[in-house]
Amino acid sequence: MLNTDDKKDPRIEFAKSIEKVVIFVVGFFKELYLGVRHGLIPWGLCGIFSILGNIGYAAHVDRSLFRLLHLGKIYPTKPLWVLLNWAIWAFSGFWAWALFQMGFKQYRTRELHRVFSEAGLKSSTGRLPTLVFEKTFDELTQMLRVTIAGNTLEKFKAARAGIESNMGIFIDDFRENRKRGTIDIIFSKNPMPRNVELANVALLPPCKFLVGETRASIIKADIRRVPHLLIAGQTGGGKSSFLRQFITTHLLNCKNSQFILIDLKEGLESHLFEGIPDVAVYENVESACKRLGEYSGELPRRLNAIKEANCLDFDSFCARPGHDPETDPKREFIVVDEAAELFLSSDRTKVSEAQQARRVLSDIARRGRAAGVHLIISTQRPDSRSLDPQVKANLPGVLCFQMANDASSIAVLGNGRGTELPPYPGRGIWKVGAEMLELQTPFLSHDAAVSLLAPLKKSSQQSDQADQPEQKVQ
């Protein structure tokens, strides 16, 4: 304990003042570092304020301010101090943001300390989790990074109900980073649906499909505007379920269409669609590569037919007065489930076959939209070896389910959000252009799909029976 004389010692008071200044400066630049690293800085707003600061400096507002404060005698005149003065004005927007963040963090930390204390997250030594930063993912989803402060991930999960109740939020997931000693709390003020049923396929307009539901709305897409899709995610995330409902939806609603289904997961899903008119199923690499090789001449023929009809693309070709659904080319869907098996040469795939598959799929991805050919690629491994970069670059629609690591997520989305998804089957991120939405994809059970597809198979069987010659009864 320090006595009264020690407390009044000017050297101790000076040391305390220096310590406060150091803490302030370190905290200030830490906020700037976190802002740059995690994309927290509002660059546009800070840039506007910085431009105004430059204008103010050029107009000598800084000199007038010094005089107003009766500090004209210490106005910077030496080169180093002049440069520092200019930097303060030139980047004033960023300095102001960092100061605001420091103040906001102090306020937010006090609030969070109360929440964590009431939720039972005080450690044995009395420490409470402290805010590191808060980040917005989209208009409805945010992330709160706090220190562990002697707690465990399990303890945070046990305190989930208390945190949600005290903060008025819905928590999707907790993610621990042991190296940094932090916990990321993914949350929103709106609940995210855990289950989305594909209630009535017939209500969807032709060529449209249900992508899923966000916290606030139902997301639908049109295959004519998003002609090709990349569906990626680890096992159990929801890829196969999404493909099941996607194919079923278009079989029922998108008339005059045909499907090439390449199922390289030992035919686990493709048997659902066998026996349906205009659906061809390929369950091994050899037959798939052979079919794609034959298809290499199909795309030019379709484009020539559209050109000869003086049409710009397949949609205008189908809308022309002389369109004949019986003889004109049909809209085509090429669905590849587990594309890595096609692109990686192995004992199951010859090098020449893999190269040919790459060429054909790359051509479809580039020119397929105009020809009415849609490519849907599904894979667990979205890296450059397993998925041709040229093919991936031409797939405008991306649906990313939970990924195993940041590298895989970055390969699909350009960021690590795929690893931050909660471990709920069907939870994914829908990306078209720069827009990314977290959503729950629709679920269509195996039995429901069988029921919906039964009329198509029945009509096919009746048609086959009608084509058989009548047998005489003895």
Both 248 and 346 in one domain: the answer is: yes
Query: In degrees, to the nearest 5, what angle opens at C-alpha 201 toward C-alphas 197 and 202?
Result: 145
Both 173 and 218 in one domain: the answer is: no
Both 182 and 279 in one domain: the answer is: no
Q: What is the spatial distance between Cα 252 and Cα 200, in angstroms, rounded to a whole number?
A: 11
Both 228 and 368 in one domain: the answer is: yes
pLDDT of 372: 92
Both 420 and 451 in one domain: the answer is: yes
Both 416 and 280 in one domain: the answer is: yes
Taking residues 434-455, report their average pLDDT.
Answer: 88
pLDDT digits (tens, 9 = 90+) for 22-49: 888 888 888 888 888 878 888 889 899 8
Do 420 and 186 form a contact (C-beta atoms < 8 A)? yes
In a domain, 465, yes or no: no
Other CB atoms within a 10 A radius of the CB of residue 320 amount to: 12
Q: Which of 188, 209, 240 is the last residue of a domain?
A: 188
What proportion of the chain, given as a percentage, has pLDDT over 70? 92
In a domain, 52, yes or no: no
Inter-CA distances, 165 with 105, 169, 182, 187, 363, Å: 21, 7, 22, 12, 53
Strands (DSSP E) found in 52-194? 131-136, 142-147, 170-177, 182-188
In a domain, 50, yes or no: no
Where residue 124 falls among pLDDT bands split at 50, 70, 90?
Answer: confident
DSSP states of 285-323: HHHHHHHHHHHTTHHHHHHHHHHHTT-SSHHHHHHSTT-
What proportion of the chain, given as a percentage, has pLDDT over 90? 23
- Please report, for the domain that includes residue 391, its CATH number: 3.40.50.300
In a domain, 57, yes or no: no
Both 280 and 332 in one domain: the answer is: yes
State the sign of the Cα–Cα–Cα–Cα dihedral 355, 359, 364, 365.
positive
In a domain, 46, yes or no: no
Examine the pLDDT at 375 and tell me if it is beyond 50.
yes
In a domain, 6, yes or no: no
In a domain, 464, yes or no: no
Least confident of 107-116, 212-221, 354-363: 354-363
Both 136 and 215 in one domain: the answer is: no
Examine the pLDDT at 1 and tell me if it is beyond 50.
no
Least confident of 235-239, 338-342, 344-348, 470-474: 470-474
Domain of 249? 201-458
Where residue 401 falls among pLDDT bands split at 50, 70, 90?
Answer: very high
pLDDT digits (tens, 9 = 90+) for 195-232: 888 777 777 888 999 999 888 788 899 999 999 999 99
Both 101 and 170 in one domain: the answer is: yes
Where residue 473 falls among pLDDT bands split at 50, 70, 90?
Answer: very low
pLDDT of 471: 40
What is the average pLDDT score of the chain? 84
Burial class (CB in 10 A: 0-12, 13-18, 19+), 336: buried
Both 108 and 244 in one domain: the answer is: no
Both 289 and 181 in one domain: the answer is: no
Least confident of 130-134, 376-380, 389-393: 389-393
Model pTM greater than 0.85? no
Longest dimension (CA), the chain: 125
Taking residues 82-99, report their average pLDDT.
Answer: 88
Do 333 and 256 form a contact (C-beta atoms < 8 A)? no
Examine the pLDDT at 72 and tell me if it is beyond 90.
no
Examine the pLDDT at 440 and tell me if it is beyond 80.
yes
Both 272 and 149 in one domain: the answer is: no
Taking residues 103-121, report their average pLDDT.
Answer: 90
Least confident of 67-76, 177-186, 204-213, 391-400: 67-76
Examine the pLDDT at 116 and tell me if it is beyond 90.
yes
In a domain, 193, yes or no: no
Examine the pLDDT at 383 and tell me if it is beyond 70.
yes
Structural domains counted in the chain: 2
pLDDT of 228: 95
Where residue 189 falls among pLDDT bands split at 50, 70, 90?
Answer: confident
